[in-house]
Amino acid sequence: MSWTKKVLRVNLTEGSISEEPLNMEWAMDYLGQRGLATKYLVEETDPKSDALSPENKMIMTTGPLTGTIASTAGRYSVVTKSPLTGAIACSNSGGYIGNEMKNAGWDMIIFEGKAPNPVYLYIENDKAELLPADDLWGKTVWETDELLHTKHQEPQLRVAAIGRSAEKGCLFAAIVNDLHRAAGRSGVGTVMASKNLKAVAIRGTLGVGNIENPKEFLQATQDGKKVLAENAVTGEGLPEHGTQVLMNVINEVGALPTRNHREVQFEGAGKISAEAMREVREGDGRANLTTNAACFGCTIACQRVSTVDKTHFTVKDKPEYQGSSGGLEFENAWSLGTDCGVDDLDAITFANYLCNEDGMDPISLGATIAAAMELFEEGYITVENTDGVELKFGSAEALVWATEVTAKGEGFGKELGLGSKRLCEKYGRPEFSMTVKGQEFPAYDPRGIQGIGLAYATSNRGACHLRGYTVASEIMGIPEKTDPLETEGKAGLVKAFQDATAVVDSVGICVFSTFAWSMEDIAPQIDAACEGDWSVDRCLEVGERIWTMERDYNLAAGLTAMDDTLPKRLIKDIAAKSGPAEGRVNDLSKMLPEYYEVRGWTPDGVPTEETRQRLGL
């Protein structure tokens, strides 16, 4: 269905649940999911409120295409204020629960207040109830999922839950759904924990309907699937190799942040790459990669499913981890591997399992461990802090230990759970933290890919590649090739990616579809499904409106243009030591003023009144 036009409002303080109509006037301006939920958050909360207070709200939201027959249309998002950054948070996830929520008849679930005791929300179509979760508190995501399936005796129940890390205050805790998919970034799981909400369990059987023009929609979605199937990246590259294929690519172009961004190329990249995942191991005669998999309705199927060698130190005494489980994406392999200098593929895979099991953002976790390793090697942290563990770059054992204690919120793990910004500030070396607005960097080095540096600096949720993935253009040539070392033209490129991504994130489809789809492929699917005329231009205007609204939220929360920056390490202190970018830093100062200009913002990064009026803000 497109919009179900129904919102479920859950007041956790009072324990009450009510149904209300979706604000369709807003839907015409913000589509759904990321855009529409942010509009609700803007209208209903004070941006200055404490992210972990009952005043903050948390919105689970689908898009108008979620649950339809459009390819990749299984996405949902969690929108709230981030405890990690103090900025807007919107974390997007695949799997199956987005579809389930839509099939239960809900566009959006708004959680407000704080439950006096742990609860979970159980939804079966129109029936929704808050149930006690005292027995689930303290359990992992995987244990919670199993207990809820057993309790409700419903094999098709879909569960999104937080793990122990969130309960213990880890600021980059994720909400994990369907065991291995996550609304991962910006600490949305921490907000959920602050509300004493352990899980959301949904069964929806109402089916698909409410398509504006079913015949046109069938044609538009068939056309879209044909484009995906015939495109070499989405039809072959991603299902065959997954995102991990980028490990060697980004290493070769000299933009693979290594050992907490001290270097830009990793000598061990080949050992933890997509190619390595397919190689037969000596230990058990099997490969790390078991198979690929797909989220709901996806015809790309980029997910990895992996198995750790039974003789490996991480699992040899733990049979519960010896089966197949969620495998490595490029980001996770980079953060837990390259950034920590670790080239042990199975150790990284195991650490990634733990991120899924206990709900942690692996990007922030790995980058924080990398910062801690630098603090250790420079003597600011000692074995007295780490229970005797030598927290050195390259140590797989240290990586696994750090992941385990953060998952459980024990000892030094409590400090790691605060993220790299707070950790490095505590130990007197804030410049060791590779963050923007307090959120850790993804796997692309801004010294070797200039445009992504601008995208990180201006991202509304802190450092993030998925808010404007200029790497597609700068490295892969999608939709057209630009020079990664050039700064000219990057302001417009970043804006174009940011606005288009805001649309994609607001309709319920996956951003990976855009390796093949342009807005000319997406707009007809929206137009056929939804009431109103949805042209390419209107969609892109909605994207710009969403981006600017998020900016306004952040400004109201107290952020300024001073927060649109990169760590000194990347713009001044340490030039790239090797590769095509050798000797370069990121030239953010050349790009940022032009970016403000093309956005119609003042030189101080504030949207002008003219821009606000043009966008109807």
Site residues, another protein (CB under 8 A): 231-233, 236-238, 240-246, 248-249, 252-254, 270, 274-275, 329-331, 465-466, 469, 472, 475-478, 481, 483-484, 511-512, 515, 579-580
CA 108 to mean position of chain CA atoms? 19
Within 8 A by CB and 6+ apart from 50, the residues are 56
In this complex, which beta carbon is closest to another protein, that of residue 120 or of residue 444?
Answer: 444
Residue 165 burial (CB count, 10 A): 33
What backbone phi and psi angles, to 5 degrees, belong to 497? -65, -40
Greatest pairwise CA separation for the chain in angstroms = 67
Least gap, CB of 349 to another protein (angstroms): 17
Q: What Cα–Cα distance (Å) separates residue 271 from each residue in 282, 338, 347, 577?
A: 14, 10, 12, 21
Least gap, CB of 277 to another protein (angstroms): 11
Within 8 A by CB and 6+ apart from 588, the residues are 446, 453, 454, 457, 565, 566, 571
Least gap, CB of 169 to another protein (angstroms): 29
Least gap, CB of 387 to another protein (angstroms): 36
In this complex, which beta carbon is closest to another protein, that of residue 126 or of residue 279?
Answer: 279
Burial class (CB in 10 A: 0-12, 13-18, 19+), 431: exposed
In this complex, which beta carbon is closest to another protein, that of residue 329 or of residue 544?
Answer: 329
Burial class (CB in 10 A: 0-12, 13-18, 19+), 183: buried
> Which residue, among 347, 552, 360, has the nearest Cα to 440 in the 3D structure?
360
Least gap, CB of 539 to another protein (angstroms): 21
Least gap, CB of 24 to another protein (angstroms): 32
**127: which strand partners?**
124
Contact 511, 614 (CB under 8 A): no
**173: which strand partners?**
360
In this complex, which beta carbon is closest to another protein, that of residue 400 or of residue 472?
Answer: 472
In this complex, which beta carbon is closest to another protein, that of residue 130 or of residue 507?
Answer: 507
Least gap, CB of 442 to another protein (angstroms): 9
In this complex, which beta carbon is closest to another protein, that of residue 194 or of residue 364?
Answer: 364
Here the tokens at position 616 are 């109807």
Cα–Cα distance between 189 and 172 in angstroms, integer? 7
Least gap, CB of 467 to another protein (angstroms): 12
In this complex, which beta carbon is closest to another protein, that of residue 216 or of residue 582?
Answer: 582
Least gap, CB of 253 to another protein (angstroms): 5
In this complex, which beta carbon is closest to another protein, that of residue 135 or of residue 240?
Answer: 240
What backbone phi and psi angles, to 5 degrees, belong to 367? -65, -35
In this complex, which beta carbon is closest to another protein, that of residue 232 or of residue 383?
Answer: 232
Least gap, CB of 336 to another protein (angstroms): 16
> Which residue, among 268, 261, 595, has the nearest Cα to 442 in the 3D structure?
261
In this complex, which beta carbon is closest to another protein, that of residue 300 or of residue 381?
Answer: 300
In this complex, which beta carbon is closest to another protein, that of residue 133 or of residue 504?
Answer: 504
In this complex, which beta carbon is closest to another protein, that of residue 48 or of residue 278?
Answer: 278
What's the DSSP call for residue 90? E
Least gap, CB of 472 to another protein (angstroms): 7
Cα–Cα distance between 196 and 12 in angstroms, integer? 8
Cα–Cα distance between 459 and 87 in angstroms, integer? 10
In this complex, which beta carbon is closest to another protein, that of residue 255 or of residue 398?
Answer: 255
Cα–Cα distance between 53 and 57 in angstroms, integer? 9
Cα–Cα distance between 277 and 345 in angstroms, integer? 8
Cα–Cα distance between 157 and 198 in angstroms, integer? 16
Contact 441, 394 (CB under 8 A): no
Integer-rounded Cα radius of gyration of the chain: 22
What's the DSSP call for residue 232? H
In this complex, which beta carbon is closest to another protein, that of residue 168 or of residue 181?
Answer: 181
In this complex, which beta carbon is closest to another protein, that of residue 516 or of residue 529?
Answer: 516
> Which residue, among 373, 355, 445, 385, has the nearest Cα to 172 in the 3D structure?
355
Least gap, CB of 176 to another protein (angstroms): 19
Least gap, CB of 493 to another protein (angstroms): 16
Least gap, CB of 567 to another protein (angstroms): 22
Burial class (CB in 10 A: 0-12, 13-18, 19+), 610: exposed
Angle between helices 345-358 and 362-377 (to 10 degrees): 120
Locus of tokens 């970018």: 581
Least gap, CB of 279 to another protein (angstroms): 10
Residue 186 half-sphere exposure, CB side, CA atoms within 13 Å?
Answer: 29
Q: Which residues of 387-421 are buried (b: 16+ CB within 10 A; e: fewer)?
A: eebebebebbbbbbbbbbbbbbbeebbebbbbbbb
CA 235 to mean position of chain CA atoms? 23
